[in-house]
Every structure is written in structure tokens, then in C-alpha cells.
Amino acid sequence: MNDLNEEETRPSDLKQKIWEIVFEAETPAGKAFDVALLWLIVLSVLVVMLESVDSYAAKYGSLFIITECLYDSLHDRICFEIMVSEEAASLRV
């Protein structure tokens, strides 16, 4: 019975940790998240710019598509975690 209670608290602890990382820039993890997110945005824009050049698109088109898919997958996962964290926070109030 005690194990069940511990398992029930773990997801909320995880959600709280994600909330702190995403929304608390004062923490080292929050700063690292912000820097990583900015680099992902810059790289995504760079890939789109390079893809618009015909010679690069012909040579590296597959790489650009894979990179964009990976970025989109990561972005979607981050957005999902933020939505879950926000909903969890709104339920606490």
C-alpha cells in the first residue's frame, strides 16, 4: 500500500520539476533549457534558410527534412510537457 502512495506522488513531482525547468529561468536547469531552446530556434531558422537555396536543397535536402522533423518532434514534446505542467498547476489552485 505504501508503494502505491509513492508511485502516485512521483508523476506530480516530475510535473513540478518540469514546471521549474521550463518557467523558472533563475535555476541552472531553467537557464540551460532557455539556452538550448534558443539554439534550437536559431538552428531551425538556419535550416529553413539553407533549404530555400536551390543548390543546398539539391545536395542536402534529405538532411534538412530529417533535421526539421527532429526539431518538430522535440518542439511538440516540449509543448506537450508545458501544457501538462500548466494544467497541473491550474488544478492546484
pLDDT tens string 7-39:
444 557 777 777 777 777 788 888 888 888 888
* pLDDT for position 4: 47
* pLDDT for position 1: 46
Neighbouring C-beta atoms of residue 75, cutoff 10 Å: 14
Q: Which long-range contacts (CB under 8 A, 24 or more apart) does 60-67 make?
A: 67/43
- The total domain count for the chain is 1
pLDDT of 68 > 60? The answer is yes
Q: Give mean pLDDT, residues 43-53.
A: 90
**Full domain range(s) for residue 13:** 2-92
* pLDDT for position 52: 92
* pLDDT for position 9: 45
